[in-house]
Amino acid sequence: MKLAARESACRRARPRACGSESDLARLKQLVLGTRGSEIAEAALVLPLVFMLLLGIYWFGRAFNTYATINHAARQGARYAVAQSCASCPNGSGNVPPTVAAIADQVKQALQASSLDPTKVVTPSSIPAACGGGNASCSASTIDPKIRYCTNVLLDNNNGSGSPPASSGPAACGVAVSFQYPYQFYFPFTSLNMQLVTLSADVQMKGEY
């Protein structure tokens, strides 16, 4: 009502200037009204966007950590199957590596990716052996505490411990495995401070 009365008085006093003042008043009212709705919408959307970005970050770190520990286990398995004396005839001079030496290879790979080797824990499961039963395994008593197994029946990647479904004898090799804890920091969700255990298990055919 006040705005209408002011506009009517303006038109009687200054007809030409009144139109521009009225338009400015309407524009100001429109901007102020729109600003309130935009603030309300931003208050609803921004927390969701923030949670989405936070989830991408922490799940990306989890995937990166998983890839890193598998790379470290692969380095250990590669060291375990490599010949210690390539020039020796029929492998006569080859000396099997110790679990401590293999653990040291894993430790170096973890440290190169800024992961703490002292957090490594030994897995509980033991792979199947080529001749049946469980493979011969030993665990490192120093950090990192990996498990090194020999005479392992190479898996067909289905987790069953069975050989590939093809003709011929089963392939045997070694396995290097360990676990590494990963903790989420994801506030306002059930994943906040949740500790997840990532497993690394690499099997490789021997080269002796």
Query: pLDDT of the chain along its 208 residues, tens only?
Result: 444 555 555 555 555 545 555 666 665 665 555 566 777 777 788 888 888 998 899 999 999 999 999 999 999 999 999 877 766 766 566 788 899 999 999 999 999 999 999 999 999 889 999 888 889 999 999 899 999 999 999 865 444 445 455 555 678 899 999 999 999 888 877 878 889 999 999 999 876 5
Give domain status of residue 22, yes or no. no
Cα separation of 137 and 149, whole Å?
4
pTM: 0.72
Residue 131 located in a structural domain = yes
Q: Which of 188, 182, 181, 195 is nearest to 52 (CA)?
A: 188
Q: Residue 168: is it exposed, middle or buried by C-beta count within 10 angstroms (0-12/13-18/19+)?
A: exposed
Structural domains counted in the chain: 1
Task: Determine the Cα angle at 154 with ends 70 and 82, to 5°.
Answer: 65
Q: Is 67 inside any structural domain? A: yes
Q: Is residue 25 part of a domain?
A: no
Is residue 174 a part of any domain in this protein?
yes
**8 belongs to a structural domain:** no
| Residue-range definition of the domain harbouring residue 68 | 47-205
Q: Phi and psi dihedrals of 153, rounded to 5?
A: -75, 110
- Domain assignment present for residue 53? The answer is yes
Output the pLDDT for position 41.
77
Asked if residue 20 belongs to a domain, the reply is no
